[in-house]
Amino acid sequence: MKRTFLFILLSFISIENYAQQTGQISGNLQLNSYFFLKDSTIGASGTPLYENYLSSAESWFNINYSIMGFTAGIRADFFHNSNLFNPLSSYSDQGLGNWFISKEVKNLKITAGHFYDQFGSGIVFRSYEDRGLGIDYSVLGLKLDYKINDHWKVKGFTGRQKNLFLTYKPIMKGLNLEGDIPVGKNLHLIPGLAYLNRTIDQENMNSIVSSINTYPLEQRFCPRYNVYVVSAYNTLNFKNVSWYAEYAYKTHEAMYNPLSVMEDKDGSVIYTSLSYSKKGFGITGQYKRTENFVLRTSPNESLLNGVLDYLPSLTKQNTMRLLSRYNAPSQYLGEQAYQGDVVLTPVKGYTISLNYSNVNDLTNKNLYQEIYADLEISKFKKFKPHVGLQTVTYNQEVYQNEPGVPVVKTMTPFIEATYKINKKKSLRTELQYLSSEQDYGSWAFGLLEFNIAPKFSFSVSDMYNVKPNPEKNPNKIHYYNFFFGFTQNASRFSISYVKQVEGYNCTGGVCRYEPAFSGVKLGINSTF
């Protein structure tokens, strides 16, 4: 690793000395620092960070340089007493988290090192990063992108998925062909084919065989070193209509069933989305069926470790605090999900949004349902109100792996309003009330935010367990948040005092458990 870092650094220096005036350099810094203040009343205690270490930090510093068709980049990662990867423990290490060199040779682009990419919608392969969830699924290997002509392009790669500062041992190979074909005046097609092969290493295979050999004879099977995944997809655009459809199939491999027993099964995904839009009106419908589509570096990995693909969640992506409390992560073993969105503007200045989401397992047992409606009024020059209502049915036993708990049912009315004082100053407020008899019970949330563009931002909020469920927590508890942010050119600095209830942090159907937090958060984001 040190030799690789030195090689990349020397390459940068050599290129810069060769042509200082023609190259372009860019980069960014992200730093998160946490100071832990124990609060046993909310469960923020009992871990090494609250009892011993008391503080932690995570940072990523990235530099890219481009010249004469070459692009190179390096990123230094630092994790000091971080609970990003294991919420109940801490991790410390630092080193080269990402490096790459790429070169464009006419229609061919060659990339060596770490890279992020995806095939189609990502169902077969997606390599991406989400630092809030502790995810970095970059691939270390060689990737080729080739433009065949104006309508077709192909890309392929071979490599291993990153595992912190190392890599997982299994090898991946992928190929993706994609087109862009106009057909007549109003019809446009974007077809594609995707292929992925993952080969298990001997160490992982030995572990799989050892597990299978503990089963009764009638449950044993011969595991396979290779799994193959293929998909065909297409986007059809015709006037105001857009239709996306994809089918993916995964060959047999060893995988764990819900009872944590390995079975030899294949898998499949069907996903489609149909939308229509015109001035003042838009509607979208989506459907997805998943069966045994577990795709990881090996069956030995679990949770968010070693995931090779991305299954989109067909639920509304809410951002408000209480509306986003209960999310539905994609179920790789099996689910049927559908979602409908309607956005309409009956008169100028009034926008109505409606959403219905439903997720069942393959036996038609309901796992999640959301009904959502809101009204946004933009006709006033200085005042912009936004009101709505959300209801959720959430199978906590399945999504949070809590056997025997009842299904959570919520109703959450909300109002958000922004008042523009002048060209630079504005006030924004949020009021939400989540009514429920399950889990933690009912919540009230209030936020007041004051902004002075383009530099300052202040906010204060409280999430209050106004009617707690005595079976979960009998106490009425306030979860305060005080925030200050300052922006100077391309750098943003923030500090906040936070009390946060335990829950799940979700992005696009991928979720990470976060324990209760009490303390101070510092953040720095800077680009150049």
Give the 3-state secondary structure of residue 364. Answer: coil
| Spatial separation of the C-alpha atoms in residues 356 and 477, rounded to whole Å | 32
Asked whether 262 and 208 are in contact (CB, 8 A), the reply is yes
Residue 3, φ and ψ in degrees, nearest 5? -65, -40
Q: What is the pLDDT of residue 27?
A: 95
Q: What is the pLDDT of residue 14?
A: 55
Summarize the chain as % helix, strand, coil (round to 5). 10, 60, 30
pTM of the model: 0.89
| Spatial separation of the C-alpha atoms in residues 462 and 448, rounded to whole Å | 10
| Spatial separation of the C-alpha atoms in residues 452 and 421, rounded to whole Å | 10
Q: Name residues whose C-beta falls within 8 Å of residue 292's C-beta, 6 or more positions apart in sequence.
A: 250, 255, 265, 266, 267, 268, 332, 333, 334
Which residue, among 333, 314, 336, 269, has the nearest Cα to 123 in the 3D structure?
269
Mean pLDDT of residues grouped by 10 in the chain (528 residues)?
53 51 87 96 92 96 93 97 92 96 95 97 96 94 97 98 97 97 93 98 96 95 97 97 98 93 96 96 97 96 94 91 93 96 95 97 96 96 96 95 92 97 95 96 97 96 94 88 96 96 84 91 96
Q: What is the pLDDT of residue 4?
A: 54
Q: What is the pLDDT of residue 421?
A: 95
Q: What is the pLDDT of residue 3?
A: 58
Which residue, among 64, 153, 73, 71, has the nearest Cα to 104 in the 3D structure?
71
Q: What is the pLDDT of residue 11?
A: 54
Asked whether 441 and 456 are in contact (CB, 8 A), the reply is no
Cα 144 to the chain's mean position, in Å? 26
Which residue, among 349, 415, 413, 425, has the nearest Cα to 381 in the 3D structure?
349
Residue type, 310: Y
- The domain locations on the chain are 117-311
